[in-house]
Amino acid sequence: MTTAFDPVDLAGIPLANRLVMAPMTRNRATADGVPTPSMVRYYTQRASAGLIITEATQTTPVGRGYPLTPGLHTPEQVAGWRAVTDSVHAAGGTIFAQLWHGGRIGHPVLLPDGLVPVGPSPVAAAGQGFTHEGLKDFVTPRELTGQEIADTIAGFATAARNALDAGFDGVEIHGANGYLIHQFLAPNSNLRTDEWGGSDEARARFAIEVVRAVADAIGAHRTGLRLSPGNPFNDISEPAPEATYTALVEAVAPLGLAYLHTCDVVDQDLLARLRKRFGGTFVLNPATEGRPTGPEELPLVEEGRADLLAYGALFIANPDLPRRLAAGGPFNTPDRASFYGGDDSGYLDYPALTD
């Protein structure tokens, strides 16, 4: 019987176990998006994960959605990430960079040179976003032109090449949680009637082209994709997502990607059907209402419902989470007040188990 603690081969990359540190924004980079020494220590503390997926990392300046998030589009950012990956590898870990573009989720005060957020259509998200000036209403994004869409796709590929230059073992494309790729997939944020919208298949095209561009740039075996069909986060509405996501998964499945990573938020049956169509390694971030994903989810691997399991908040609070899960606990309690920004408190000071 396969367990979450068994090693696994991820498209040629050996992983010590099947426990994944999920991508989680922590807002600890510099104002210029450069990873800091604290980030080096944070990721290295968690190197016992089978796979670390970094926090969302913007592929371009206009893609920044929150303050103090890292990027992969300048030499300084690449050098900062190299310090992270070298340290994680020295500790025996494996690490992928999550490539991200916030799209309409962001605000002009976060962006340089008078830039404004962009999106598939000029439709503002309801709600407010976090900035260094406090919460601000989301603005109406500027609709991307056809050439800008091509440039954005190329930006993902460039960031993927930068990720390998920075020492990452691979990348995960962030197509979930209401950010740019998800905005193209959703009918309430993509009102286009050209080749990038207007039908289920056309709304899937942007995601497909991003995946193809990244796979061409660094190899499909180093490329993962994260999706969250039906997730309403960031004012997304997908009342009937199956046709769009089926078109997407069927288009990328033949490429031989490293994995498909899904958030179990709405329709488990749909996720099962998408997994079958994908046919490759399946990473599941399970839904656990009212509590962090914990030891209760370990049987999902034994039952064959996932190949790898992604843990979020519990990995923040327990840098040695695989050891704690194997022992059945105890577990540190996550301090949610320190999740987003701040100093090293609630970031680097969670204790590991002692021998």
Q: What is the pLDDT of residue 205?
A: 98
**In b/e form, how buried is each residue of 74-112, taking b as 16+ CB within 10 angstroms?**
eeebbebbbbbbebbbeeebbbbbbbbbbbbbbbeebbe
pLDDT at residue 264, rounded to an integer: 72
CB 246 within 8 A of CB 275: no
Contact 36, 68 (CB under 8 A): no
The 3-class SS string of the chain reads CCCCCCCEEECCEEECCCEEECCCCCCCCCCCCCCCHHHHHHHHHCCCCCEEEEEEEECCHHHCCCCCCCECCCHHHHHHHHHHHHHHHHCCCCEEEEEECCCCCCCHHHCCCCCCCEECCCCCCCCEEEECCEEEECCCCEECCHHHHHHHHHHHHHHHHHHHHCCCCEEEEEECCCCHHHHHHCCCCCCCCCCCCCCHHHHHHHHHHHHHHHHHHHCHHHEEEEECCCCCCCCCCCCCCHHHHHHHHHHHHHHCCCEEEEECCCCHHHHHHHHHHHCCCEEEECCCCCCCCCHHHCHHHHCCCCCEEEECHHHHHCCCHHHHHHHCCCCCCCCHHHCCCCCCCCCCCCCCCCC
- The reported pLDDT for the residue numbered 114 is 87
Can you give the pLDDT at residue 129? 94
**Contact by Cβ (8 Å): 51, 96:** yes
- Please calculate the CA angle 88-308-46 and round it to the nearest 5 degrees: 25
Averages of pLDDT over runs of 10 residues in the chain (355 residues) are: 96 97 98 98 98 98 98 98 98 98 97 94 97 96 98 98 98 98 98 97 98 98 97 96 97 98 83 95 90 92 96 97 96 96 97 83
Burial of 14 (0-12, 13-18, 19+ CB in 10 A): exposed
The residue with tokens 């695989």 is 322
Q: Torsions phi, psi of 297, nearest 5?
A: -90, -10
Residue 12, classified by CB atoms within 10 Å of its CB into exposed (0-12), middle (13-18) or buried (19+), is: exposed
Cα angle 322, 325, 328 (rounded to 5 degrees) comes to 150
- Domain positions in the chain are 8-327
pLDDT, position 355: 54
Give the pLDDT of residue 287: 82
Nearest C-alpha neighbor of 181 from the set 163, 217, 155 = 155
pLDDT at 354: 80
Question: What positions carry a catalytic annotation?
Answer: 179
Q: What CATH class is the domain 8-327? A: alpha beta
State how far the Cα of 168 lies from the Cα of 138, in Å rounded to an integer: 33
Residue with tokens 């990430």: 81
